[in-house]
Structure 1
């Protein structure tokens, strides 16, 4: 079992805290404890792999503010990848980052590839490559992220008013009905819809403000803005 990063050290000398020799009975007890402690330590390559991977997962959890349910899903995906031998010859950090991204997609948690890239400090192409490998080899079925779910996350980051947020959601639903949103990045669409709603409601938010909150480029917002504006 993975030790969750905890470790114990039992002093090899048979003396108590005051430096006095241990009794024969206590010495025998301590010897048994040393034996079990040694057996419980991480020695197998698989255990070492788990320790490194889950340490990375805990770090990403804190950086991305991910729920325990998503973390458990990411750990499950990583274990399946390890069982299938997908970790061999690949970066543990990149594979765990891709497992977390897959877990976010599976649970419809609004975190995009750029979010994971920044948190993990790993190139996006490396995470994307591992993600495609997981999808193919583990036969994972990913739901399509709904751009409406991304609106609340972007809005909360830069303090957009509730009225403007509702307007953005209405714009996105109209776009979905007109099939304008098909094949487009959900986060980019949500950002463009929020910018359009801000313009309509006179809320002072720039393209840069929204782009930074959504982790997309201003060019993406401008490109999506025109299509959304024409559909409303």
Structure 2
């Protein structure tokens, strides 16, 4: 499989190594200043860039009929527009706030726990996420997914970084050097605390999941998520 890497930072380089180990070929490596020349020669593209570049990268792929896997966060106010473009172009698109197998299992646990805890209003939920200092968006896309999944199965109506009200989920976003990603969901009451947590040891899990998603997306049409890739639906 020929892969175009859109974003060639730390994550891009880990994805490259894993893709090569799995027998794939990297035919394009795009940094922020490079053009899209050669994109049409790729079988699939993987986007781990920056929020300001993600929409352009996804659009360029859909315009050239290149299946696109995007793990860039911080641009989701335009997600619906990219879904519409994918459908209009009869393209293939996967967005994931996190491609780690462990995190996607964690998402399922979080949703199941939220449905249980919705019956017990003596508990107040909050989310904590910790990432490296180079991460540009806060809160993380993973934390937002966790919050939105809780909202879907409870009486909470929104998430907030500050001044969270009774119906808001407070997200505490911390930036600490050399932390690949830690996410915790807490349910606190006056008498006890329930916690579920995912701690990434390195970037390997994110990169492997992205390559697996790209392998899965090849020769498909439509808009998908990691639930489809991992058959978690």
Tell me the TM-score normalised to structure 1 length: 0.28
Tell me the TM-score normalised to structure 2 length: 0.27
Between 1 and 2, higher relative CO (CA 8 Å, sep ≥ 6) is seen in 2
